[in-house]
Amino acid sequence: DAGVIQSPRHEVTEMGQEVTLRCKPISGHDYLFWYRQTMMRGLELLIYFNNNVPIDDSGMPEDRFSAKMPNASFSTLKIQPSEPRDSAVYFCASRLGRINEQFFGPGTRLTVL
Amino acid sequence: AQKVTQAQTEISVVEKEDVTLDCVYETRDTTYYLFWYKQPPSGELVFLIRRNSFDEQNEISGRYSWNFQKSTSSFNFTITASQVVDSAVYFCALSEAGGAGSYQLTFGKGTKLSVIP
């Protein structure tokens, strides 16, 4: 079975541009998480969904960030407009049930110039 | 609030040495789960182990072993006879029910392990 799939793997964009990151969770998993990893702040939870419904978006840094999960097999994280401080690795993870382990995608390395 | 502390920021060992990575956690819940993840230089996060708060038995998987002690709120990870491929950042993480029963993960800052040939 395929793991969590993220695209693109690398994204370089200029300040002010819109960026969309994509995630396909493991089939059957009912939780989906978006994280951001930076050297300064480590791994931060941005938002998570349960059965496609956003449950907690308190980690989303600003209104420039938005996330959607239109169906059980697809989610997007959008940054509009992007800023250099958004440069980070963004991970998507999925989980089956409440207490089990999360499985992470390979991440998207975002560089905003 | 839950918290995970990995006091060792970086560790270097020579190949074949044993190494222990420390993890101390704080939680008010009686039911919680502890995890270890590995992040090799390629960047992905790899799940290693999950333990629940009711099971204090130590676990061994090949060269890896984990020591869970509720009395000291610790969940330490030992690699025996380390190899260069063990070089990575290792994260300890905690989940508890929380207000919404969500069992979100709280990660430690990670320990960077370098195994020198």
More confident residue, A52 or A100: A52
How confident is the model at residue B96, as a pLDDT?
Answer: 86
Q: Tell me how close the Cα of A11 comes to any Cα of chain B, in angstroms.
A: 15
Which of helix, strand or coil describes residue A85? helix
- Measured between beta carbons, the chain A residues lying within 8 angstroms of B110 are 42
How many Cα atoms occupy the beta-carbon half-sphere of B3 within 13 Å? 4
Q: Tell me how close the Cα of B43 comes to any Cα of chain A, in angstroms.
A: 7
Question: Which helix (H) or strand (E) segment is B74 a member of?
Answer: strand B74-79
CA distance B19 to B35: 18
| CA-based nearest residue to B35, from A47, B25, B27 | B25
- Mean pLDDT of all residues in chain B? 92
Mutate to test the interface with B, among A38, A39, A43, A56 (most CBs of B within 10 A): A43
Measured CA distances, A30 to A13, A16, A42, A92, A96 (Å): 32, 33, 25, 13, 6
pLDDT, average across residues A15-27: 97
- Measured between beta carbons, the chain B residues lying within 8 angstroms of A33 are 104-105
pLDDT tens digits for range A34-84? 999 999 999 999 999 999 999 999 999 889 999 999 999 999 999 999 999
- Measured between beta carbons, the chain A residues lying within 8 angstroms of B52 are 99
- Measured between beta carbons, the chain B residues lying within 8 angstroms of A42 are 107, 109-110
pLDDT, average across residues B88-108: 85
pLDDT, average across residues B51-57: 89
CA distance B76 to B94: 13
More confident residue, A75 or B97: A75
CA distance B21 to B90: 8
How confident is the model at residue B98, as a pLDDT?
Answer: 67
Subunit contact B43:A107, Cβ cutoff 8 A: yes
How confident is the model at residue A19, as a pLDDT?
Answer: 98
pLDDT at B41 over 80: yes
Q: A6 and A106 in contact (C-beta within 8 Å)?
A: yes
Subunit contact B105:A102, Cβ cutoff 8 A: yes
pLDDT at A98 over 90: no
How confident is the model at residue A62, as a pLDDT?
Answer: 85
pLDDT, average across residues B15-37: 95
